[in-house]
Structure 1
Amino acid sequence: MAIHPPSNRLWWKEPIHGIELAWIVIAFLWGLFMFFFMIAWHFIGQQNLSNETYKIKPEVYAERVEAFAAEFQAVADDGTPLEEDGVPVVRPPVGGDAYILARLWEFWPILELKKGESYRIHLSSADWQHGFSLQPTNINISVHPGYEHIITLTPTESGSFGIVCNEFCGIGHHTMTGRIRIVD
């Protein structure tokens, strides 16, 4: 901010100093580099999920998830259906589709997947916008009602992975969790 106005009111016609011009060129080239590298990083960085998204009515998606859970619910050696805290444990077919429903305040059902096998994971919400954050991996998706998100997932480690809602969804948000179990 100048105290006195410039003596030459046509300041934009003044020649640009060489150092200033060099910094402008460097900033412009850096901006171009970053723009194209963000696109390239999607392919070479293995950081971003390539997912599919389709419109679907929430009640139709909920019916699909319930049918999926009923068809593929895991059973114990004695023939009783496996559940954890009243939530069914579901074993989808290897290489097949697996469905998870986000709703106040749970991710339903619990999936049991095989290590090293690929699955198409379908995600949608029955009510509000929720966040799907698979812990401790770096998979984060905003899950919206009316949209079915599909990601391809190939587990590389066995264990139990927590699902956390990372979009505030109401008074029970802090209790909104789920699980994916990976077995050998």
Structure 2
Amino acid sequence: MALTPPSNRLWWKEPIHSIELGWVVIAFLWGLFMFFFMIAWHFIGNQNLSSETYKIMPDIYAEKVEAWAEEFQARDADGNLLEEDGVPIVRPPAGGDAYILARLWEFWPIVELKRGESYRFHLSSADWQHGFSLQPTNINISVHPGYEHVITLTPTDSGVFGVICNEFCGIGHHTMTGRIRVVD
């Protein structure tokens, strides 16, 4: 209910002024341009990750990651298993698959990759939605339980890259971090 009703109650039958019509046309054309440019930018911008997604039961994915981590866990020169703060360091074969499991409140395990080699990187969650943000790169993925996301990743720089959860996942969200190492 308006404070003061319009003088002409059939306002939609009033003719549109040419300036207003011009702005409507400009807004419509701009909307069309933005719609098609977003689609084109996926292909020409080299910004969005092309990924595959598969349905998987969270407990089956967790078992797959644990078996993979056990098979490829890194060892030192004496044959001792390498860990950091109780989290295994895993070295997948160059060109192979790498797995990370998101769960309250960690990304497990620590993955060590070789610079310049391509890997099929698998991500999923064991419990609820988490965000996978690889710092300082621009890789962001929403990780959902029941879905295995697979991206092709080729590290170009050496160093230790932090993984943080950027989807609020509960009281320990601020501690949910992980690491990916890239070595020469």
Shorter chain as denominator, the TM-score bin is over 0.9
Paired residues for 1:108-123 under 5 Å: 108-123=108-123
Structure 2 equivalent of residue 159 of structure 1? 159
Q: Give 5+ residue unaligned stretches, structure 1.
A: none
| Residues 171 and 14 (structure 1), Cα distance of their counterparts in 2 relative to 1, 3 Å cut | closer
Partner amino acid, structure 1, of 2:16: I
1:149 deviates by 0.8
- Secondary structure of 1:22's counterpart equals helix
Partner amino acid, structure 1, of 2:63: E
How many residues align? The count is 183
Structure 1 equivalent of residue 28 of structure 2? 28
1:46 deviates by 1.5
Structure 1 equivalent of residue 97 of structure 2? 97
- Secondary structure of 2:160's counterpart equals strand
**How well do the aligned residues superpose, as a CA RMSD in angstroms?**
1.6
Distance 1:89 1:5 in 2: 71
1:16 deviates by 2.5
1:154 deviates by 1.0
- Give the alignment's TM-score, normalised by structure 1: 0.93
Alpha-carbon displacement from aligned partner over 1:63-104 (angstroms, at most 9, x marks no partner): 110111111111111111111111111111111111101111
Paired residues for 1:19-58 under 5 Å: 19-58=19-58
1:4 deviates by 5.9
1:2 deviates by 8.8
Structure 1 equivalent of residue 6 of structure 2? 5
Percent identity over paired residues:
83
- Secondary structure of 1:132's counterpart equals strand
1:18 deviates by 2.1
Distance 1:2 1:31 in 2: 34
Partner amino acid, structure 2, of 1:50: S
- Give the alignment's TM-score, normalised by structure 2: 0.93
| Residues 113 and 16 (structure 1), Cα distance of their counterparts in 2 relative to 1, 3 Å cut | same
Q: Give 5+ residue unaligned stretches, structure 2.
A: none
